[in-house]
Each structure stands twice: as C-alpha cells, then as structure tokens.
C-alpha cells in the first residue's frame, strides 16, 4: 500500500497490478510481452513514475533471479483505483516497484506494510513531502510498518509521539532496503 498526501490528513493509495501472458506464435515464441499499461486518473508526474518504476522493477528482478523472464514474457497492467480522485506526484514510486516485483516473483507483500518514496532510475529512494499526513493515513488503515525515505528521517523525528507510537518505521536510501522489508528478507 502506498501513502498519499491530501488536505484531509492523507490517504491510503492502492496500486493494483495484473500480468497478461501472451500466447505463442507459429514458431512457439511469445507474442507481445514486455509492455506496461497504466490506468487510473494519474497526472503527468505520476505517469512518469510508473515508467521509472517499471524500469527499476525489471532491473531489480534481473538481480534477484536472472532466470526469471516474467517481464519479457508478460504484459503488465497497473491500475491506481478511485479514478474520480486525481493523483499526481512521484511518491508512489517505491510502491509501484514493489507491486510489480510481487507479481513477477509471485511473493505476497506484508499485509500491514505501507510505504512512500520517489524512486530514481538507479533505485535510489528519494525524499517526499507530507510525512505527517501519510503517517495519519497509515494509522487509519491499521498499518504497523511504514517504509520512508532516509532523507525524511528528520520529518519523522519532528512528528508528535502520539502519531509515532506503535509504528515500526524503516528508512531506505536504496530500493534494495524496501525490498527486504516488503518481502521479509
């Protein structure tokens, strides 16, 4: 689950992914595969984040399991529900990468986990705003563990104790740290 800033104290941001495996052509090779389709009312910055997340997920999968050809054989459809609510910004990057890797590796993500952070092409986790509102949203959603960018540690430290109480916060400067938290390494 991702976390989004809103004027009403933040909200949970769900990212859905579905793989579509293509059939074989007359030579026994896959038709299609390796494309990303996105839906949901996303602004330009968030659309750009989906492309970056797709590249990072492909690169990370090659590191995790070089024999896994999921992204080569499968088209990915990523949807951000609640289409009536406009969404924009880069902070769902780590959530998008995690959703795609969950699909490609067939591993579930911890159910009480939420995260926020922009991801760069090289897998760096970059700072985002709205940490207070996003923490409030996580609490409302029953989240126990939150992954935040390392560069947001000061924002976290400045939050009132009642917001931080009972939450396990993990800071990440690189996507590999997010992966370890999300998939229990």
- Show which residues are catalytic: 91, 134
- What Å distances lie between residue 178 and 7, 88, 148, CA to CA? 27, 22, 9
Q: In terms of Cα–Cα distance, which of 182, 136, 142 is closest to 156?
A: 136
User: Can you tell me the distance from the alpha carbon of 55 to that of 51, in angstroms, rounded to the nearest whole number?
Assistant: 6
8 A C-beta contact, residue 3 and residue 10: yes
In 8-151, where do the E strands start and end?
11-13, 16-21, 36-39, 74-79, 113-115, 118-119, 125-126, 145-149
């Amino acid at each position: 689950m991702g976390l989004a800033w809103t004027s009403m104290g933040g909200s949970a941001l769900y990212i859905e992914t579905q793989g579509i495996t293509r059939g074989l052509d007359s030579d026994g090779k896959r038709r299609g595969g390796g494309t990303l389709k996105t839906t949901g009312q996303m602004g330009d910055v968030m659309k750009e984040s989906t492309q970056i997340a797709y590249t990072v997920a492909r690169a990370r999968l090659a590191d995790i399991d070089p024999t896994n050809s999921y992204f080569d054989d499968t088209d990915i459809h990523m949807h951000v529900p609640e289409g009536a609510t406009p969404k924009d910004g880069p902070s769902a990057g780590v959530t998008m990468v995690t959703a795609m890797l969950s699909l490609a590796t067939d591993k579930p993500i911890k159910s009480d986990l939420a995260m926020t952070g922009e991801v760069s092409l090289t897998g760096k986790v970059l700072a985002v705003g709205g940490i207070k509102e996003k923490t409030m949203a996580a609490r409302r959603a029953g989240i126990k563990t939150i992954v935040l960018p390392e560069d947001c540690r000061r924002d976290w430290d400045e939050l009132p104790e009642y917001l931080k109480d009972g939450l396990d916060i993990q800071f990440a400067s690189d996507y590999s740290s997010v992966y370890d938290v999300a998939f229990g390494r």
